[in-house]
Structure 1
Amino acid sequence: MEKTRPGTGALDRTFRVSLILKGLDGVLELIGGLLLLLVTPEQIGALARFLTQHELAQDPHDVVANSLLHLTANLSGSASLFGAVYLLLHGAVKIVLVWAVLKEKLWAYPWMIAFLLVFIAYQAYRISVAFSWGMVLLTAFDIFIVWITWHEYRLRRAQSRMPVG
């Protein structure tokens, strides 16, 4: 049975695609967290040097390559462990909430919104400390997800209160 409400088909599809993208992001975070647990900071640094050597040979001032090398050069064991735990927890929570919202579990909508609002606040802090267009775009996407989740939650809650008949 089709659950799409009249006039909201495109918004429903946008909502579902956005959630699926968020879920895939959660899967990537889980993979990243596992890799941080399994790979030493030294191995990460060696991989970064290998991946950037060709680009830096062509352009020694390449911003992305130099940023990657700087980031991996300063990676310590404790920072790697923190990153792994952060990514694993963040990814797992995201996957569970996305799954529950896609299954239209009403309890999951407010949790998804709250979860994203906490990370939006953290991302805003990160933007103020170290501006990055990537972080700005991620934050804008999260704000969109919060808005569309709130919209869908209100519709689903109203639907669940309607008498069946």
Structure 2
Amino acid sequence: MRTTPRTRERWFDLVFLVGFALKAVDGLVELLVGLPLLVLRPAQVEAVARLLTAGELREDPGDPVAHLVRHGVAALSTDATLFAAVYLVVHGLVKLGIVAAIFRGSRRLYPWAIAALGGFVVWQGVEFVQHPGVGLALLTLFDVVIVALTVREWRHHRSLGDAVRSVLGRSARRAPSDRSTDPAWRTAQ
């Protein structure tokens, strides 16, 4: 079965939209995890981790994720907790800011989004070399895909609304009031 360029375009748009939705959820989770870490001491973080994993370990005493969480927080120092908190809050806010700006249709922010996510990819790559892990590898791969799709949308002079219209099968035509259809406006971008 051959795919048409339009079908391929719709798949790229769908992946782009799902990726940005996941970025928003990821950013929100990072923010919600990071904020309490700013005020909790390592012993309190360990107590919360024990509370959150207790039910799972009762159900499955060999659960690797629960053991990983408990082992990870047991070794946290005050400095490590503060670093994790700041990283999660900043990373979460940047992701939410990027998603909000692109959702609003501000194409001028695409290069900033690409640069910010690219910076995270580089940092995560360095961290992966120093401390390899499947989770970090998957997160980095996910960010690379989102950066590539964002570059694609930006180069095609498309907004998030264009991707939504493409996926929903509505006309890709823009309203006459949309400045992005004006060739003079496009070249100024």
| TM interval, short-chain normalised | 0.7 to 0.9
Q: CA deviation at 1:54?
A: 6.6
Match of 1:139 in 2: 140
Distance in 1 separating the partners of 2:24 and 2:81: 23
Distance in 2 separating the partners of 1:54 and 1:106: 44
Aligned with 1:110: secondary structure? Answer: helix
Q: Does the 8 Å CA contact 2:56/2:66 hold for their aligned counterparts?
A: no
Q: CA deviation at 1:27?
A: 0.6
Going from structure 1 to structure 2, the CA distance change for 1:151 and 1:74 (only over 3 Å counts) comes to: same
Match of 1:3 in 2: none
Aligned with 1:156: secondary structure? Answer: coil
Match of 1:80 in 2: 81
Distance in 1 separating the partners of 2:61 and 2:83: 34
Going from structure 1 to structure 2, the CA distance change for 1:155 and 1:80 (only over 3 Å counts) comes to: same
Match of 1:27 in 2: 28
Instruction: Provide Cα deviations, 1:59-89, integer angstroms capped at 9, x if missing partner.
Output: 4xx6544432332122122222222122111
Distance in 2 separating the partners of 1:104 and 1:58: 48
Q: Which has the larger displacement, 64-73 or 139-148?
A: 64-73
Percent of aligned pairs with the same amino acid: 38
Aligned with 1:75: secondary structure? Answer: coil
Name the aligned partner's letter for residue 16 of structure 1.
L
Q: Does the 8 Å CA contact 1:16/1:102 hold for their aligned counterparts?
A: no
Q: How does 1:120-159 map to 2 (within 5 A)?
A: 120-156=121-157
Q: CA deviation at 1:13?
A: 2.4
Distance in 2 separating the partners of 1:25 and 1:78: 24
Aligned with 2:107: secondary structure? Answer: coil
Going from structure 1 to structure 2, the CA distance change for 1:45 and 1:11 (only over 3 Å counts) comes to: same
Q: Does the 8 Å CA contact 1:97/1:112 hold for their aligned counterparts?
A: yes
Does the alignment pair 1:162 with 2:163? Answer: no
Task: Give the gaps of 5 or more residues in structure 2.
Answer: 159-179
Instruction: Provide Cα deviations, 1:77-110, integer angstroms capped at 9, x if missing partner.
Output: 2222222122111111111111111222122111
Aligned with 2:132: secondary structure? Answer: coil
Instruction: Provide Cα deviations, 1:16-66, integer angstroms capped at 9, x if missing partner.
Output: 12111101111111101112123321122123334258739944xx65444
Task: Give the gaps of 5 or more residues in structure 1.
Answer: 1-5
Name the aligned partner's letter for residue 32 of structure 2.
I
Match of 2:164 in 1: none
Distance in 2 separating the partners of 1:68 and 1:54: 12
Q: CA deviation at 1:9?
A: 2.7
Does the alignment pair 1:55 with 2:57? Answer: yes
Match of 1:36 in 2: 37
Root-mean-square deviation (CA, aligned residues, Å) is: 2.6
Q: Which has the larger displacement, 103-112 or 43-52?
A: 43-52
Name the aligned partner's letter for residue 55 of structure 1.
L
